């Protein structure tokens, strides 16, 4: 056995020891819950679950097996009752997550075993318990689950091998302080969860209901996955786990935060802005992730952190890059022995100083926007609502439809190759670019997961992700 093989074997055996059995709820880290998987299967079979591109993860072979087995029961009345939507996300999340509080008794009937609900005022799983019981009986769900238990266990083992969970917990406890009231932590997973990770207290156990990285869902071996993918794949778990540390610390500084942080200034419709502390906590949990990757994944942190900052900006937290850099700078220049917990009030005051000047930069005009031109060599003149950083190069994603297929290509705009030129103190940029003949060319700026160098204002706020300009080049003769 090679040294590498031996190390991998030790990791897998150690991970296996952390996985709880499906029929028990002990103090193991990963809890395989039959009832949680039941709820996710039910939601995946609804019209909404089938049609929404993000709610249910559909890229795994397992998803196809779910559809193959259960589609014949599409007319079951339960599916119409729980056919939720994006607007009814509380009901969707509650149905899915509350199922964890139930188990099957000796007669295979569902009974509540935990005093737990995910969202106050929502109780859809228990309200539909009779229909859920009937669905289980009619569809043969319990046998399906039993047949796939080895898959769930293998997935859990691979997940732990990829997440570096001990390092996460060590980092958070060191930087933000141990949570004395939490006796242990748990992770609950399903290969069907596509979005809406959440952290909840289940009794005295800090419990994370998480989304799995794509590389696990598509069956890729952990040892073959790049460091960038591993680092990025830890984001879902880390930014739920760190709510257990960030939220109570934020609450200690509620008065200071109220004087220095306005949801209306930092939030453009995330859905969290109605809660006095939630917007700040969302910003903060993602910013702390940046510090974690800088510590444990230094070689890939720039790309990974850019991707997730842009993603957070699509959620309404439009100044994420600015917020993250402010925290990272303060942390970098901290005094010996200082932790994030020590820096918390300093950072809140620092953010307060940046708040009055916050604004979102926008493209206000472009000479070729929504125009049809004859020549494939096009010179773009773009005007912005405020001064931008005058970068020597930046990225644009050119998207075109060729032969019925969408083709996207990342292009680097430079002075040498594209005549990149800034003017009007950064309010105007000019560059030349080759377009594709006979089709609509869409130039997309700050494209999450594709852009390497982002456009941002002089104040440090990114141009909104997916900002675009459309220009058509005629087919000609």
d(CA 122, CA 73): 26
Give which of 194, 198, 230, 47 is closest to 119, Cα–Cα.
Answer: 198
d(CA 345, CA 441): 48
| Dihedral sign for Cα atoms in the order 151, 153, 156, 161 | negative
Q: Spell out a b/e string for 388-416, using b for 16 or more CB atoms within 10 Å of the CB, else e.
A: beebeebbbbbbbeeeeeeeeeeeebeee
Average of per-residue pLDDT across 235-244: 93
Do the beta carbons of residue 328 and residue 239 sit within 8 Å? Answer: no
Task: Write the pLDDT tens digit of every residue in 171-213.
Answer: 999 999 998 888 889 999 999 999 898 889 999 899 999 999 9
Three-state secondary structure readout of 374-424: CCCEEEEEEEECCCECCCCEEEEEEEEEECCEEEEEEEEEEHHHHCCEEEH
Average of per-residue pLDDT across 3-28: 42
At residue 4, does pLDDT exceed 70?
A: no
At residue 104, does pLDDT exceed 70?
A: yes
pLDDT category at 3 given cuts 50, 70, 90 is very low
Which one-letter DSSP state was computed for residue 156? H
d(CA 120, CA 471): 49
Compare 2 and 355 and report the one with higher pLDDT.
355
Q: Please state, in angstroms and as integers, the Cα–Cα distance from residue 237 to each residue in 188, 270, 360, following that order.
A: 10, 20, 29
Let me know the angle formed at the C-alpha of 120 by 117 and 124, rounded to the nearest 5 degrees.
Answer: 60
Q: Please state, in angstroms and as integers, the Cα–Cα distance from residue 12 to each residue in 1, 8, 444, following that order.
A: 15, 6, 42
Give which of 253, 214, 238 is closest to 296, Cα–Cα.
Answer: 238
Average of per-residue pLDDT across 126-136: 97
Average of per-residue pLDDT across 31-56: 96
- Delineate the domains of the chain, giving CATH numbers in brackets: 20-164+187-194 (no CATH), 254-357 (no CATH), 363-473 (2.60.40.10)
pLDDT category at 477 given cuts 50, 70, 90 is low
- The least confident of 135-144, 176-185, 317-326, 390-399 is 176-185
Question: What are the φ/ψ torsions at residue 423 (nearest 5 degrees)?
Answer: -150, 175
At residue 27, does pLDDT exceed 50?
A: no
pLDDT category at 388 given cuts 50, 70, 90 is very high
At residue 395, does pLDDT exceed 70?
A: yes
Q: Please state, in angstroms and as integers, the Cα–Cα distance from residue 211 to each residue in 104, 109, 143, 197, 451, following that order.
A: 25, 28, 24, 6, 23
Do the beta carbons of residue 440 and residue 453 sit within 8 Å? Answer: no
Average pLDDT, the chain: 92
Burial of 285 (0-12, 13-18, 19+ CB in 10 A): buried
Query: What is the pLDDT at residue 181?
Result: 85
d(CA 97, CA 102): 10
Average of per-residue pLDDT across 16-45: 74
Do the beta carbons of residue 430 and residue 445 sit within 8 Å? Answer: no
Cβ neighbours of residue 266 closer than 8 Å, sequence gap 6 or more:
279, 280, 283, 317, 318, 319, 323, 355, 358
Query: What is the pLDDT at residue 26?
Result: 36
d(CA 231, CA 218): 17
Query: What is the pLDDT at residue 28?
Result: 82
pLDDT category at 403 given cuts 50, 70, 90 is confident
Task: Write the pLDDT tens digit of every residue in 406-449.
Answer: 999 999 999 999 999 999 999 999 999 999 999 999 999 999 99
Give which of 62, 105, 98, 65 is closest to 82, Cα–Cα.
Answer: 98
Compare 57 and 271 and report the one with higher pLDDT.
57
At residue 246, does pLDDT exceed 90?
A: yes
Q: Spell out a b/e string for 33-55, using b for 16 or more CB atoms within 10 Å of the CB, else e.
A: bbbbbbbbbbbbbbebbbebeeb
Let me know the angle formed at the C-alpha of 41 by 57 and 210, rounded to the nearest 5 degrees.
Answer: 50
Return the bridge partners of 104, or none. Answer: 110
Return the bridge partners of 359, or none. Answer: none
């Amino acid at each position: 056995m090679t040294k590498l093989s031996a190390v991998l074997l030790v990791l897998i055996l150690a991970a296996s020891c952390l996985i709880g059995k499906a029929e028990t709820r002990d103090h193991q880290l990963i809890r395989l819950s039959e009832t949680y998987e039941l709820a996710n299967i039910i939601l995946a079979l609804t019209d909404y679950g089938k049609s929404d591109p993000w709610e249910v993860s559909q890229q795994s072979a397992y998803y196809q097996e779910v559809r193959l087995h259960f589609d014949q029961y599409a007319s079951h009345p339960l599916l119409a009752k729980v056919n939720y939507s994006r607007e009814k996300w509380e009901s969707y999340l509650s149905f899915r997550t509350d199922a964890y509080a139930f188990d099957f008794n000796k007669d295979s009937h569902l009974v509540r075993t935990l005093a737990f609900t995910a969202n106050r005022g929502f109780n859809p799983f228990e309200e539909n318990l009779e229909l859920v019981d009937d669905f289980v009986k009619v569809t043969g769900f319990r046998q399906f689950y039993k047949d796939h238990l080895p898959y769930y266990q293998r997935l859990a083992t691979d997940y732990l091998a990829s997440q570096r969970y001990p390092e996460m917990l060590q980092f958070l406890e060191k930087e933000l302080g141990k949570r004395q009231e939490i006796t242990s932590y748990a992770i609950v997973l399903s290969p069907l969860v596509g979005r809406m990770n959440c952290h909840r207290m289940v009794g005295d156990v800090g419990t994370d209901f998480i989304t799995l990285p794509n590389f696990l869902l598509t069956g890729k071996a952990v040892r073959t996955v790049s460091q960038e993918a591993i680092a990025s794949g830890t984001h879902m778990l880390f930014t739920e786990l760190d709510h257990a540390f960030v939220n109570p610390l934020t609450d200690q500084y509620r008065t200071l935060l109220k004087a220095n942080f306005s949801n209306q200034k930092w939030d453009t419709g995330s859905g969290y802005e109605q809660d006095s502390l939630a917007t700040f906590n969302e910003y903060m949990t993602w910013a702390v992730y940046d510090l974690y990757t800088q510590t444990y994944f230094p070689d890939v942190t720039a790309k990974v952190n850019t991707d997730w900052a842009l993603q957070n900006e699509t959620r309404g937290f439009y100044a994420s890059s600015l917020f993250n850099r402010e925290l990272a700078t303060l942390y970098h220049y901290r005094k010996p022995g200082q932790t994030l917990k020590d820096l918390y009030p300093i950072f809140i005051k620092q953010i307060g100083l940046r708040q009055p000047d916050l604004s979102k930069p926008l493209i206000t005009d472009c000479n070729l926007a929504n125009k049809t031109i004859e020549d494939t060599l096009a010179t773009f003149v773009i005007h912005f609502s405020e001064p931008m950083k005058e970068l020597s190069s930046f990225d644009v994603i050119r998207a075109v439809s060729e032969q019925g297929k969408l083709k996207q290509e990342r292009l680097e705009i430079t002075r040498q190759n594209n005549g990149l030129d800034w003017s009007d103190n950064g309010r105007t940029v000019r560059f030349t670019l080759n377009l594709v003949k006979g089709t609509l060319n869409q130039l997309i700026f700050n494209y999450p997961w594709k852009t390497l160098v982002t456009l941002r204002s002089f104040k440090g706020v990114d141009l909104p992700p997916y900002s675009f300009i459309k220009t058509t080049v005629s087919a000609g003769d």
